[in-house]
Amino acid sequence: MPLLHKIAGVVIVCAVIMGLVLPRDERGSEPEREAARAGAQTKSENEADKDTPARPARQGRTTHARPSPSVTVIAQARPEVARIRANELGQIPVLMYHRIVKKPEMSLDRSVQEFRDEITRLAKSGYVPITAGEFAAGRVDVPAGRHPVVLTFDDSTPGHFALDAHGNPAPDTVVSVLTEVARQYPGFRPTATFYLNKDPFQLGDRTGEGLKWLVQHGFELGNHTLSHKNLAQMSQSGVEKEIGDIEGQIVSLAGVHTKTLAYPFGSEPKKAAWAQAKTGSYRFNGVFLAGWRPSESPFSRDFDWRHIPRVRSEGKIAEDDCKRYCSTAWLDWLDKNPTERYISDGDPNTVSFPRAAESKLASRFRVYARAY
């Protein structure tokens, strides 16, 4: 046998032996090894594990990675991440609004001016809105050093959104105020999630036009049940009908499914699974309560997509202990305790935090983690 053939035979035998004994990551192709290093094994959204939120991903993509058991050491964060003290395990305020009106009449009302003042405060303080769906899925994409905030509006009332005769948002509505503040403060993203009941925004025969306008301009539609009944007092069929009927209307009018649900009155049904998904009708990646504190980061081991707390928008008034638990009080507290607040590293594909906070990290996100 020619010498070259003998050498080739030896090489092949060695390659086979090494393939049998080397770890899986080492014997994969270069693209496979690169994907493993980046934690970038991708699935379609429909294949996603609905028991956990989506992994960090660029806007418009959902990346689902299965962490390798060999990933035990968290990578070092970039120097600039340490300089801005990024903390993507910090708390995120999810603000809950109801009616926005010129003159408040009920306890949950906020005036247009109160709303404008609070949104302006958020913009000045470095907050950037993301949608409820993005938050629940772990798609937190805001500039470095900024803080995500989720703006949610229950009951789809006319003060949230209305169209003028030319098809533009009416003045002094939520949408027009958000747009106005975004023009004044570059980097402030004009977006929000509107939780809809029947007859959204009382738009009548312009409902389809209005819902499509919102979707096309970066706003998000959420499910708040058809008639705002207390789900805790309903049977499985009743719960599924309340959620499924409004979901069907939204799909018919706007052409999109909702990604999240907000419980009316914050009340959970006897079995939470009834509200979380129904085959062929609805399936949520986040369920929101009417709670009294900021939410944990979606990358925290304490985050539960089935029970996401919100903070009522209100000043420091005595009613319902708003001196401690409503939006003004919590925003003040986060200002005074900046290490407790989510601070973005500017990269939606990593999760950065001080090394001392490592114990807070959910284990499935270790492949994305960067510590300093």
pLDDT digits (tens, 9 = 90+) for 181-191: 999 999 999 99
d(CA 371, CA 76): 5
Of all residues in the chain, the percent with pLDDT exceeding 90 is: 80
The yes-or-no verdict on residue 14 having pLDDT over 70 is no
For residue 216 the two structure tokens come to 């096309």
Q: Which two tokens stand for residue 10?
A: 């030896």
Distance CA 77, CA 178 (A): 34
User: CB neighbours (10 Å) of residue 353?
Assistant: 28
Checking 274-278 for CB contacts under 8 A at 24+ apart, the result is: 274/236, 274/239, 274/240, 275/231, 275/239, 275/243, 276/50, 276/306, 277/50, 278/240, 278/243, 278/244
What is the radius of gyration, based on Cα positions, of the chain? 24
- Whole-angstrom Cα distance, residue 333 to residue 90? 13
Does 176 score more than 90 pLDDT?
Answer: yes
- What whole-number percentage of the chain has pLDDT above 70? 81
> Identity (one letter) of the amino acid at 329?
A
Q: Mean pLDDT check: name the lowest of 35-39, 107-111, 139-143, 196-200.
A: 35-39
pLDDT digits 0-9 by tens, 279-323: 999 999 999 999 899 999 999 999 999 999 999 999 999 988 999
Helical residues (DSSP H) of 225-325, grouped into ranges: 236-254, 273-276, 322-325
Structure tokens at 109: 């009302």
pLDDT at 78 over 50: yes
Question: What is the rounded average pLDDT of the residues 254-273?
Answer: 98
